[in-house]
Amino acid sequence: MKQGQITTPCYVIHKERLDGQIALLKKALDENWGNHITGYSFKTNALPWVLMQMKRAGFYAEVVSEDEYNLARYMGFSHVIYNGPVKSRDSFLDALSRGHMVNLDAEQELDWLEASGLKEVQVGLRVNFDLEAVCPGETSSGEDGGRFGFSYETGALQRAAERLAGMGVKLSGLHLHVSSRTRSINIYRALARMAVKLKQEYGWKPAYIDIGGGYFGGMENRPEFPAYMEAIREELSAGYTPEETTLVVEPGTSLITPPVEYLTAVVDCKDTYAGRFVVTNGSRSDIDPLHGKRSYFHEVGYELADRNDCYAIPEEVLYAWEEEGQENPAEGREILDRQVICGHTCMENDRLFVLEGRPALRPGDVIAYRKVGGYTMCLTPLFIRYFPPVYVKEGGQLTCVRERWGTEEYVRKSHFRDAF
């Protein structure tokens, strides 16, 4: 690749957009609940560059495994929120001994805590309750119910709190995060109301209420941070005040999804009995690892990639296209009724979308997929091609923050290299 070019396929992070999302979140929190903590969800996108931006912005590390906990420590995060049902014993006790915020999710964690003899720790309980009954059709688990936390309905939550009291450990917080299908404001109203209900029913006075994450962000006709935080404040104020209680939020997708795009180049077009297929050097697996989405935000740039240089894109061309924010003209090309855009893998379901009534695509054209920063880089498989490069765009400059993986990177950590 020549200097001044970027290789495709690749991710591009627009730093100004990321900064905008962070500023919007903090402003919404300041205006609605001045006493707050923001934790960044490592599982959503743990690219080291992203983690450093969150650390500099004052985010806590929100982690759910020993590996993520160790990564947070390695990256120098001073504050950690440790969630999840499968913490390791050593990392669990280490987090407690360092004064980090730990939300208990399983009985074995109560056993570890009791055996440790630790008293002055920040311990919360994750609340499991029937949110589907309150918000029908909106939860990810539906009528089957969620599997995380201690059940309110069965009394497990109350028993866990009583057990903490018996150890002489203060119940510092309530963790209410629930994955939802709709990400609606109703979900967060219901979570806040549950926090108030628990205080009124059991007389608990937690120092923090952790509402979790799962918000929309950067999507037209969808709620933004101000609307979410206003709704949470309205409900939470029935039982809590900012002076006495800290509000904890744990966003991931709402922060990192909007500023990231994925660039791919057309490498082949072929006509079959079924129609026109357009093959790109990207893959659906890089922007939709679970192959569950029905559509993607996409845009076409004509004749942007250099076919003679492995479909690299000159930076000045990309800048101009980005600044225009619209599709490039394709004068003189045939208009086709239907073009099926496909990825590079050998799987027939690696199909991304259908382009209808548009100019015929050719090798060297570029397709950009917008808003793809969440649960993509962390779930991209090592299937057929290795990890693509990641660039950061800031002030008209592109910087590579992760090189494309090749054979050396793939083999480096394997003991098989000793055989050479």
Predicted TM-score of the model (pTM): 0.95
pLDDT recorded at residue 414: 73
Query: What are the pLDDT digits (tens) for 303-345?
Result: 999 998 999 999 999 988 887 766 777 889 999 999 999 999 9
DSSP helix, strand, coil percent of the chain (3-state; round to 5): 35, 25, 40
Q: Cα(100)–Cα(94) distance, rounded to whole angstroms?
A: 9
Q: Give the whole-angstrom CA distance, residue 270 versus residue 368.
A: 21
Nearest to 148 by CA among 126, 124, 181, 172: 126
> Is the bond preceding 226 in cis, omega lying within 30 degrees of 0?
no
Pick the CATH number of 5-12+259-411 from 3.30.70.2860, 2.40.37.10, 1.50.10.10, 1.10.10.200: 2.40.37.10
Which token pair is 66? 């020993």
Sign of the alpha-carbon dihedral angle for 86, 250, 127, 113: positive
- Burial label for 393, CB within 10 Å (0-12, 13-18, 19+), is buried
CA angle 280, 317, 258 (to 5 degrees): 65
Domain 33-256 in CATH 3.20.20.10? The answer is yes
What's the CA gap between 364 and 30, in Å, rounded?
47
Rounded-to-integer distance, Cα 188 and Cα 170, Å: 26
Chain centre distance of CA 201? 34
pLDDT at 114: 97
Ranges of each domain in the chain: 5-12+259-411, 33-256
Tokens of 217: 């962000």
Per-position b or e across 217-229, b if 16+ CB within 10 A of its CB? bbeeeebbbeebb
Residue whose C-alpha is closest to residue 285's, from 373, 374, 372, 381: 381
What is the distance between the alpha carbons of residues 213 and 39, in angstroms, rounded to a whole number?
9
- pLDDT in the model for residue 415: 65
pLDDT of residue 267: 97
Binned average pLDDT, 10 residues per bin, the chain of 420 residues = 84 98 98 98 98 98 98 98 97 97 97 96 96 95 93 98 97 96 97 98 97 95 97 98 98 97 97 97 95 92 92 92 76 95 96 96 96 95 94 94 93 66
d(CA 260, CA 245): 34
For residue 403, give the DSSP letter.
P
DSSP state of 8: S
